[in-house]
């Protein structure tokens, strides 16, 4: 099973920025990384009138779009879990999800004191690290927002 780690935190805490900085550090170390982004407000990857959208509109449950550069899967969501989504990944060493704080997966929370009063995952037994600018102590390793190498070391030692 491919390890899955969730980068979590409240809105505007810096989750995407952390993922953007963590991926190249893990790549430099020789790891292939897959990501899953939770879109709480929905999204649409296919424009009305395009052939692949027409397939979905006709009733297809899944459509795979293939070009020389990439493959996209458009599948109706049957309340997929992170574990079931992991089946779409092949050839990666680790999956980093952004969001999914309710899933029972190891979590790294991004917390900025200037944005929020308290972290989202206080008391969560799945919390494995905190990336913060605060002096908060949640009994997990704590990293500054700049310590990407230290965070990658933790991930590498614990999951890879």
| pLDDT (tens digit per residue) in 115-149 | 888 998 888 999 999 999 998 889 999 999 999 99
Residue 15, pLDDT score: 94
Mean pLDDT of the region 93-114: 93
Mean pLDDT, all residues of the chain: 89
Q: Give the CA diameter of the chain.
A: 54
Q: Which residues lie below 8 Å from residue 84, measured CB to CB, with a gap of 6+?
A: none
Choice among 18-22, 52-56, 112-116 with the minimum mean pLDDT: 52-56
Using only C-alpha atoms, what is the Rg of the chain?
Answer: 17
Q: What domains does the chain contain, in order, with CATH numbers?
A: 4-41+78-159 (3.40.50.300)
Q: Which residue has the higher pLDDT, 76 or 91?
A: 91
User: In this predicted model, what pLDDT tens digit does every residue of 14-41 receive, in sequence order?
Assistant: 999 999 999 999 999 999 999 998 766 5
18-46 exposure pattern, b = at least 16 Cβ within 10 A, e = fewer: bbeebbebbeeeebebbbbeeeeeeeeeb
When mean pLDDT is compared over 46-50, 71-75, 81-85, the highest value belongs to 81-85
Q: Calculate mean pLDDT across residues 39-67.
A: 76
The string over 107-142, giving b where at least 16 C-beta atoms fall within 10 Å of a residue's C-beta and e elsewhere, is: bbbbbbeeeeeebbbeebeebbbbbbeeeeebebeb
The pLDDT assigned to 99 comes to 86
């Amino acid at each position: 099973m491919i390890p899955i780690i969730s980068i979590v935190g409240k809105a505007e805490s810096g989750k995407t920025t952390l993922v953007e900085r963590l991926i190249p550090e893990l790549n430099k170390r020789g790891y292939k990384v897959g990501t899953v982004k939770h879109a709480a407000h929905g999204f649409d990857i296919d424009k009305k009138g395009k052939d692949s959208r027409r397939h979905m509109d006709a009733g297809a449950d899944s459509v795979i779009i293939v070009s020389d550069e990439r493959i996209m899967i458009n599948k109706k969501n049957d309340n997929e879990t992170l574990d079931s989504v992991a089946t779409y990944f092949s050839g990666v060493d680790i999956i980093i999800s952004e969001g999914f704080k309710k899933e029972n997966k190891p979590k790294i929370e991004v917390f900025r004191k200037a944005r929020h009063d308290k972290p989202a995952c206080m008391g969560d037994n799945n919390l494995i690290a905190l990336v913060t600018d605060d002096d908060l102590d949640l009994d997990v390793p704590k990293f500054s927002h700049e310590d990407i190498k230290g965070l990658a070391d933790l991930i590498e030692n614990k999951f890879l």
